[in-house]
Amino acid sequence: AKHLAEALRHSNCKLQKLNLDSNIIGNDGAKHLAEALCHSNCKLQELNLNGNNIGDDGAKCLADGLRHPGCKLLKLYIMGSSIGVTGAEALADMLRYDNRTLTRLNLQENPDIPPALLTKIERLAELNSESINCTAVEVGRKKRAEYGPKLDEIYGFVRSYPNLLSA
């Protein structure tokens, strides 16, 4: 992540989307990426950090990076990481007071964030969407009712072809 962050700060870098899903990025990597987000040469608008090992310290660094006036990031995905109460609160404070560009934040499947705090972050975005610019905060878990019929269809298909699973 350190070398990627250096590349994002380079004047010739035109990268707008970066998918680092499941790349074992931890708090140090998040810190380097957050520092790059503040750089005037960084053009990144979408960052996918899903499935990494980012904890509270990394989330706080990302929140600090998003507070910076030069940050151009529109979408941040940190689903399925190790973010807890402290990191989620830092992101909530950033949304509430300092967000300038972020329009989408995904914190789903971070089991150490209590449901009440997830609800608070979601409501914060809903209540203050005009002033904080964040129109879509995804923090909850999808209900089975939303996926149930499709999952049942897939399961039925797989069961009807037992050789698919034995290959």
- Strand (E) or helix (H) holding 91: helix 85-93
Highest mean pLDDT of the ranges 44-48, 115-119, 123-127, 163-167: 44-48
- The pLDDT of 26-42, averaged and rounded, is 97
Say yes or no to pLDDT of 15 above 70: yes
Q: Specify the pLDDT at position 152.
A: 52
Average pLDDT, the chain: 81
Q: Specify the pLDDT at position 76.
A: 93
Q: Write the pLDDT tens digit of every residue in 129-147.
A: 544 445 556 655 443 334 4
* Better-scored residue on pLDDT, 111 or 97: 111
User: Which amino acid does the sequence have at 74?
Assistant: L
Q: Write the pLDDT tens digit of every residue in 86-104.
A: 999 999 888 877 776 788 8
pLDDT cut 70: percent of the chain above it: 73
- Using CA atoms, how far residue 57 sits from 35, 91, 121, 145, 156, in Å, is 14, 11, 18, 35, 43
As a whole number of angstroms, the distance between CA 155 and CA 167 comes to 17
Q: Write the pLDDT tens digit of every residue in 47-79.
A: 999 999 999 999 999 999 999 999 999 999 999
